[in-house]
Amino acid sequence: MAEQDDHPAPEVERDEDHQPLNRQLISRIMYALETGDREMLWAEMEPLHAADIADLLEQSNAYDRRRLIALYGQEFDGDILSELDESIREEVIGLLTPEVLAEAVRDLDSDDVVDLVEDLEDQQQEAILSALEDSDRTLVQQSLTYPEYSAGRLMQREVVMAPEHWTVGDAIDFMRNAEELPEQFYHIVLVDPRLHPVGNVTLGRIMASRREVALKDIVEETFHTIPVTRYEGDVAYMFNQYHLISAPVVDEEGRLVGVITIDDAMAVLDEEHEEDIMRLAGVGEGGLNDSVIETSKQRVPWLAVNLGTAILASAVIALFEAQIAQLVALAVLMPIVASMGGNAGTQSLTVAVRALATKDLTGSNVWRVLMRETTVGLINGLIFALVMGVVGMLWFGGPELGYVIAAAMVINLVVAGLAGAAIPVIMDRMGIDPALGSGTFVTTVTDVVGFFAFLGLATVFLL
């Protein structure tokens, strides 16, 4: 049960030194770059996966990136573009010669091309689309008609399907004779005559069965189809919840239009997480590769909101100026109550935001969760009231200040628990992402309540 505390166990091995993109390799690559030694560069980069080359480009500064791409030349592969962070994709595409770019995109699957072009400016988009073969271009353009962040943008159009009456032997013969099969596929989708998917057969089951077995007798137990307009985050959730490997995508009439595989769903899950964690911290998109100006722009809005709420909290303090002038110890102690409330509120908030994201917090348990967070706030409030009461007493040499800070602590931690859990739930019900700015709202509540409770109680009982 104490799993995560002692994590990772000491015997477990971390792979810091086994990274393909390690310091030694990077310095050899930089050496090749400095000396303009193209052969050496190619040799050093040969064993790297496209994802590692993309990381290398991301971690380089703009100057090295330009030199690297120029020297690497025609070896530049389309997969590198797919793996690149969006923040520098446009820059890198702009650095490629038209020939290299055309060559690079031609081998990509349709879903990767869609992912590549959807955020590009018109001119670059056109350059890539015109490099494709006609049939591929049509597929990509069709996918682009689906809404952003939908299953339609995520799916690949290359599907292996079979009529529902086929046998294992039919399927094997079909695949042996197929001119082109998708690079990765794990299921054959069974369809009825109107192209509605009726089941999934794993390749493993096909291989393990005799040729005369009917495909519909070996379909998988769990079968889900995905509407083409479904939000990609829900698709990722579904894959994770039901351990899907691939799932067919259907249009409004229920006809098979594509297939989504788990590796794409995993990438979406990772992006969703990035978004949650960044939004909770009030950081817009926040890539490491954005420019200083870009980054500053992304962060200013939430800092501005925070300034507004901080001024609000100050206004509360201003109500008690006369009391503070009378007893300066109040000014010394008041940030403690606010800080503890902010911390406790953030704890409740994070648990609630995460539970909403994983659909563990629903209509059926929301009251129990609110109740629980409030009760935890009460218990922790009492614990720290005791501690802080004693500290206040010792520090300022009298029991009264201790009583007041203890009472304010209890009030603020109860409010923190309630607000921390309730604010994300309310935002979610209103259709707003609960990760977005709820931290600021919760700390506003705990600042205002903290200062008001402490200074107010002090005014009543001390002065």
Q: State in Å, rounded, how far the first CA of the chain is from the last one.
A: 50
Q: Does 384 bind a second copy (CB under 8 A)?
A: yes
Contacts of 461 (CB under 8 A, 6+ apart): 400, 403, 404
Burial class of residue 429 in the structure, from the number of CB atoms within 10 Å of its CB (0-12 exposed, 13-18 middle, 19+ buried): exposed
Instruction: Write each residue from 134 to 163 as x if it is in contact with a second copy (CB under 8 A), else as -, in one continuous string.
Output: -------------xxxx-------------
User: How far apart are the C-alpha atoms of 1 and 5, rounded to whole Å?
Assistant: 9
Is residue 109 a contact residue for a second copy (CB under 8 A)?
Answer: no
Residue 180 contacts residue 240 (beta carbons within 8 Å): no
Q: Does 372 bind a second copy (CB under 8 A)?
A: yes
Which residues are CB-neighbours of 396 under 8 A, at least 6 positions away?
A: 329
As measured in angstroms, the least distance from the Cβ of 47 to a second copy is: 11
CB of 241 to a second copy, least distance (A): 5
Is residue 241 at the binding interface for a second copy, with CB under 8 A as the rule?
yes
Smallest distance from a second copy to CB 21, Å: 8
> Which residues 306-365 are close enough to bind a second copy by CB under 8 A?
306-307, 309-311, 313-314, 317-318, 321, 324-325, 328-336, 338-340, 343-344, 346-347, 349-351, 353-355, 358-365
> Smaller CB distance to a second copy: residue 145 or 193?
145
Shortest Å distance, C-beta 236 to a second copy: 9
Binding to a second copy by residue 59, rule CB under 8 A? Answer: yes
Which residues inside 394-423 make contact with a second copy, applying CB under 8 A? none
Residue 325 CB, nearest distance to a second copy (Å)? 5
> Is residue 214 close enough to count as binding a second copy by CB under 8 A?
no
Look at the block and give the residue holding tokens 């353009």. Answer: 141
Q: Which is nearer to a second copy, 97 or 358 (CB)?
A: 358
Q: What angle do CA 304, 307, 308 make, to 5 degrees?
A: 90
Confirm or reject binding of residue 390 to a second copy (CB under 8 A). Answer: no
102 binds a second copy (CB under 8 A): no
Closest CA to 309 of 282, 327, 329, 284: 282
CA-wise closest residue to 409 among 426, 392, 432 = 392
Burial of 202 (0-12, 13-18, 19+ CB in 10 A): middle
Check residue 99 for interaction with a second copy (CB under 8 A).
no
- C-alpha dist (Å) from residue 5 to 9, 348, 373, 378: 10, 19, 22, 25
Q: What is the CA radius of gyration of the chain?
A: 29
| Maximum separation of any 2 CA atoms in the chain, in Å | 94
CA 225 to chain centre: 23
Quick count: other Cβ atoms within 10 Å of Cβ 240? 15
| Helix/strand/coil for 2 | coil
Told to check if 462 binds a second copy by CB under 8 A, we report no
| Nearer Cβ to a second copy (129/283) | 283
CB nearer a second copy, residue 193 or residue 245 = 245
Asked if residue 296 binds a second copy (CB under 8 A), the reply is yes
265 contacts a second copy (rule: CB under 8 A) = yes
* Secondary structure (3-state) at 199: strand
459 contacts a second copy (rule: CB under 8 A): no
**Residue of 198, 262, 386, 462 interacting with a second copy (CB under 8 A):** 262
Interface residue with a second copy, options 172, 195, 198, 426 (CB under 8 A)? 172
Please, which of residues 175-194 interact with a second copy by CB under 8 A? 175-176, 178, 181-182, 184-186
With respect to a second copy, which residue has the nearer C-beta, 194 or 210? 210
DSSP 8-state secondary structure symbol assigned to residue 434: T
Spell out the residues 6+ positions from residue 332 whose beta carbon is closer than 8 angstroms to its own: none
User: With binding defined as CB under 8 A, does residue 295 bind a second copy?
Assistant: yes
Site for a second copy contains 12 (CB under 8 A): yes
Amino acid identity for residue 234 in this structure: D
Scanning 34-42, 69-77, 135-143, 174-182 for contacts with a second copy by CB under 8 A, the matching segment is 174-182
For a second copy, which residue of 102, 203, 426, 462 counts as binding (CB under 8 A)?
203
The whole-angstrom separation of Cα 69 and Cα 60 is 11
Nearest to 447 by CA among 306, 361, 338: 338
Q: Binding segment for a second copy among 99-107, 129-137, 191-199, 240-248 (CB under 8 A)?
A: 240-248
Q: Which of 36, 98, 204, 399 binds a second copy (CB under 8 A)?
A: 204
- Does the footprint of a second copy cover residue 227 (CB under 8 A)? yes
Q: Least distance to a second copy from the beta carbon of 49, Å?
A: 6
28, 38, 42, 51: which one contacts a second copy (CB under 8 A)?
A: 51
Rounded Cα gap, residues 304 and 291, in angstroms: 20
